[in-house]
Amino acid sequence: MITKLAESITAFLIRRSYAGIREKDIVCYGMEVIISTIVGWTMILIVGAVCGNVLYSFVFGVVFLTLRSFTGEYRPVSMVSIDPSYATEGQLI
């Protein structure tokens, strides 16, 4: 789903001449990362709101993303597997 959405956004950007055909793969990957980050943050904040820990969820997200940016990111084969595990880790910690 994320890949299809990223491909649609990339096609739109290419049609509007914001990106070239040669950069299609790079732009598509960038869109996947942006969408995945938005979905991850949304899931963490929703689960935090349901559990009554929005502040703790936000702090976890900031610390986790900062740590992950310095230690290297885990890139799964499918983006579907990372978002639920990310939200679950946030509430377990």
Cα-only R_g, the chain: 15
The pTM assigned to this predicted structure is 0.68
Total count of domains within the chain: 1
Q: How confident is the model at residue 62 (pLDDT cuts 50, 70, 90)?
A: confident
Report how far residue 1's alpha carbon sits from residue 21's, in angstroms, rounded to the nearest whole number.
22
Tell me what pLDDT residue 89 has: 60
Q: Whole-angstrom Cα distance, residue 15 to residue 21?
A: 9
Q: What is the pLDDT of residue 36?
A: 86
Q: pLDDT, tens digit, for every residue of 2-55?
A: 889 999 999 999 998 888 889 899 999 999 989 988 988 888 889 889 988 889
Identify the domain containing residue 16 by its residue range. Answer: 2-92
- 36: its two tokens: 């995945």
